[in-house]
Chains A and B, each alone.
Chain A
């Protein structure tokens, strides 16, 4: 570790860890509540699709300790339908009103003196259902014969748009070859180990809902919640706890429960606390989307892709909860990936089915898109008898082209993809891996190599979701764009520096990185900077883009904290210049001192200069604002609203990832062993290498899970089949190998510190890289995730045959 120079770029240890390692974290369920707080338990639907004929809560209310039961009556009286992102009457309330549409949908909330009693009371609620036919497969749901989830809407296809960029039809007509592939990306979830927690308290005296929740943003959902509660934004005070037990996007999905518990608190006249359990989390929190994609490329004989066609059918589950259908549009601008493809046609459909509604999950649209795109690149190589790596290389955006405008509108900010690939091949030892493959295959063993090259978008444009609307609808609605980040830096009377930012971290170490950034600006040590990242919408700076998603911390939030600190530094330099009799531009900050350049003896302590604006504002240079506190809002100008031609720069920065891996498959058991995994990242300037590698390893492990184990499984009848961690299989230390991590740093020209996001990339690249290796090992075209042993065995040996009748069981 370098001992000199800036703290930014050093792998310093985390400021967060001492508390978390000693049991002194303060997670939402650890915080004190008022003594009269009621505890909530939720009755959930056992049916995937049914009309609710009657709900009888009388027996539950008679149970000693039960204070109230909340049902559709209270919810429809005290709240409104949630705003929906498409122009369709997709009624969505905080709990079921006339109909349940997925197993696990909330129907009633019991409020009792403790959780045990509340759960007892759930068993005493009688609900009369009229079961309806359910549909779980998006293709079936889209058919005319399918049961309809929303009779008023007329179809389960609730949004359909087509897009044409360039002249894809002409390219396909003239193409030497076309290669096509259909993939069916499954449902999974990143399942934080801490579930949702909400503590709601309605104060009738001033009409304010005061809610503490381990919500992670985006805070564009704050207006959604406030409108559902029929209050102005300033009457919904939303607060977040100091610590959060992981999110990976998933804690976005707590927002309907915020509204539900807020209503419950108002009905009961007391604070209400709800802690989600694991079954509730798996059945009823939020899922990533499953998606059916047909992708087709027009290809020259050398493997250069001339044009692409995408046909995407997105399954958002039973309701279109905000910000959906964002998963489908988050990657829209960069659907051509890391490739210089100029012609593109896209057809997007959004379908509702009788499954858990979808929402944010790490990777957010990337795993689905890259599974199709990088499987296609592998298929192009196979069908054209080319080397898959060569096909990738021939199509990459060239180094001289940055910033590169992709056909659908992404402005790829910076990079050198060829060099990244070349370095990974060299430093990751691809030649040796290829030799190993040949040697093992010569022994009759089953071994394959896979590749994936992707761009990792970060800092989502708040306007990308409006690409789901037609240009005409957008004109009516008014433009949406940008991605305001905000940070506040304050100086106290003793010269202590405190930082606040609206980044709602969930374990990423934001406090540590912000302390590094701000310490450098003031010439202090990171441990001298106090960073508080609790968010209180009534007191702190925030905007709709606030929160912890789309990998926006390093590129946007950390950069904004830098800008806020710089503003204070400029003022402190003027104050110091006056006291030290030099020009402000000759003032330097280092080692806790402020001094004249070239004459370090002409100095004052940082704390003395920093305290001046508190203790002696009359002595400040005339006309200057005091150096007390500064809040900066920053949004990159490149994030424009969608154009009339539907071009959208959906993200502010685009990192590059190139992965390759070797896997060996046991032909007898179908077991996949990851022999080697190399992942090269160019995420711009690295602020803390330790934390960056941590993000990569975490995303990689989740990518391994998605590739090999994880599926939120439903029966054909809509029954939910994965309600525990014994059913929904998350990889353990025995299943996750150590990846070889390589770095390049091509700074982003568009972010204050040159940083790009890094947290989601391997969730996007790893599933398809492993799938490509399995395809290479087995020589098969159709690969479906997760690659469970039984699925791999079926690929090797064909579908399992039913046993002969005679062999079944013992004869009696």
Chain B
């Protein structure tokens, strides 16, 4: 691991949503701040900076991670996916469309983190129970919805994804 000087900024290069990008960061800069303010990927939100609320969840090399608990420089050379990597507004992904159908979001501030957690989880656990979904969601705080719609959307998306990729 390179030794970085705290006194200066360093170029951080990574793959963001499939594209090579880079920006400048002090060693102490949080990955969440780097994504939002250096790279302009404002879809990732910051809700507590303690790793509790889950709003800042991204995927790091395919696995869900809290971007507020990482430094930007730790992302050097890694693959980062954010909510912007999911479906486009006119072509929502299966999970996103299920969220809309089940009114799984209101203010939408916690939503990107929940989507990224579920996107990772459903790939690894294609046939979850409601209890498992709720356990996963316990890593995210939502103050608007009471979670019902989120649970329903996750279960419906899991079923639809199983049909899209049978045997996956």
Contact = CB atoms under 8 A, between A and B. Distances in A.
A324 interface: no
Contact of B111 (A20, A508, A730): A20
Interface in A721-739: 724-726, 730, 732-734, 736, 738-739
B75 interface: no
B4 interface: no
Contacts of B143: 190-193, 246, 248, 698, 701-702, 730
B29 interface: yes
Contact of B108 (A29, A243, A277, A733): A243
Contacts of B50: 278, 724-726
Given A724-B52, A725-B48, A22 B86 contact: yes
Contacts of B134: 733-734
A702 to B, nearest CB: 7
Nearest to A246: B107
A22 B144 contact: no
Contacts of B110: 193
Interface stretch (B59-67, B88-96, B120-128, B155-163): B88-96
B14 interface: no
B153 to A, nearest CB: 10
Range of interface residues on B (Cβ < 8 Å): 35 or more
Nearest to B28: A116
Contacts of A278: 47-50, 53
A690 B103 contact: yes
Interface in B109-161: 109-112, 115, 133-135, 137-151
Interface centre among A18, A116, A193, A698 (most CB of B within 10 A): A193
Interface string A19-31: 1111111010110
B77 interface: no
Contacts of A694: 103, 106, 144-145, 149
B149 A697 contact: yes
A22 B88 contact: yes
A245 interface: yes
Pick the most buried of B29, B50, B101, B106: most chain A CB atoms within 10 A of its CB: B106
Contacts of B133: 733
Contacts of A738: 148
Contact of A192 (B41, B103, B107): B107
A507 B108 contact: yes
B98 to A, nearest CB: 10
Contacts, number: 175
B147 A192 contact: no
Interface stretch (A9-17, A477-485, A559-567): A9-17
Contacts of A509: 106
Nearest to A726: B52
A503 B80 CA distance: 37
Given A116-B28, A193-B141, A21 B107 contact: no
A699 to B, nearest CB: 8
Contact of B137 (A13, A30, A508, A732): A732
Nearest to A25: B108
B83 interface: yes
Contacts of B29: 116
Given A22-B43, A22-B88, A733-B137, A245 B146 contact: no
Interface string A210-253: 00000000000000000000000000000000011111100000
A444 B144 CA distance: 38
Contact of B99 (A17, A245, A730, A739): A17
B38 to A, nearest CB: 11
Contacts of B78: none
A488 interface: no
A506 B88 CA distance: 23
Contacts of B100: 13-14, 17-18, 21
A731 to B, nearest CB: 9
A20 B151 contact: no
A244 B107 contact: yes
Interface in B23-56: 26, 28-29, 36, 41-50, 52-53, 55
A674 to B, nearest CB: 12
A511 B58 CA distance: 29
B89 A18 contact: yes
Contacts of B147: 697, 701, 732-733, 736
B82 interface: yes
A248 B143 CA distance: 9
A27 B46 CA distance: 11
Given A20-B108, A509-B106, A701-B146, A245 B45 contact: yes
Nearest to A195: B47
B99 to A, nearest CB: 6
A111 B168 CA distance: 53
B105 interface: yes
Contact of A27 (B99, B109, B140): B109
A800 B85 CA distance: 53
A192 B47 CA distance: 9
A520 interface: no
Interface in A698-729: 698-702, 724-726
Nearest to A18: B89
B151 to A, nearest CB: 6
A194 interface: yes
B11 to A, nearest CB: 17
B84 A22 contact: yes
B145 A701 contact: yes
Nearest to B100: A17
A691 interface: yes
Residue picked from B87, B105, B107, most chain A C-beta under 10 Å: B107
Contact of A733 (B101, B144, B151): B151
12 contacts: A21-B96, A22-B83, A23-B82, A23-B84, A25-B109, A193-B55, A245-B108, A694-B144, A698-B146, A724-B52, A734-B134, A734-B135
Interface of A: 13-14, 16-25, 27, 29-30, 116, 190-194, 243-248, 277-278, 506-509, 690-691, 693-694, 697-702, 724-726, 730, 732-734, 736, 738-739
Given A21-B100, A27-B109, A733-B140, 8 more contacts: A22-B43, A23-B84, A25-B109, A192-B109, A243-B108, A246-B144, A278-B49, A732-B138
Closest 6 CB pairs of A and B: A23-B43, A507-B107, A245-B109, A20-B108, A697-B146, A701-B146
